[in-house]
Copies of this chain bind each other. A is one copy, B any other.
Amino acid sequence: MEFYQKEIILPVFTRGYHLITDVLKNTIINELRGIKVGQFQAFLKHTSASLTINENADPTVRLDFETHIDKMIPENMPYYQHNYEGADDMPEHIKSSMLGCQVIIPITKGELNLGVWQGIYLGEHRDYGGERKIVITIMGVKY
């Protein structure tokens, strides 16, 4: 039974949804390759962005995510009290909890056992979010 952990800093992303599967995987690729069966966790240390799993091919999915989720959780609702940092302040927090701040993926034979169409999205919910920290933990049985 092995346990590895690494904290990384993502480059700055624009507001919206971004595929980061390879960025995360490459961070810990050597340790991952050695795991026969296990679990991978990526945990985002922020409350104004999110991690989720969705379609890894067509960029219009990510555009429609931004458009529709902005309708579900809009800016400038008259009842928001928490808007010190701008119109995106309160919606970003609700989006983060609705989508979640982490992904947990089974490891099988040294690979993330994702479906053919699955990838990891960073949801950047701030207009200017800055750098984002992620803790990657993998555990499992070695070959």
Asked if A14 is at the interface of the complex by the 8 Å CB criterion, the answer is: no
Q: How many residues of A contact B (CB 8 A)?
A: 63
A133 CB, min distance to chain B CBs, angstroms: 7
Query: Does A54 contact B113, Cβ atoms closer than 8 Å?
Result: no
Query: Does B105 contact A43, Cβ atoms closer than 8 Å?
Result: yes
Asked if A32 is at the interface of the complex by the 8 Å CB criterion, the answer is: no
- Majority SS at the chain A contact face: mixed
Query: Does B118 contact A47, Cβ atoms closer than 8 Å?
Result: yes
Residues of chain B lying within 8 A (CB to CB) of residue A46? 115, 117-118
Residues of chain B lying within 8 A (CB to CB) of residue A7? 113
Query: Does A82 contact B98, Cβ atoms closer than 8 Å?
Result: no
Pick the contact of A94 from B39, B65, B94 — CB < 8 Å? B65
> Which parts of A122-143 form the interface with B (CB within 8 Å)?
133, 135, 137, 139-141
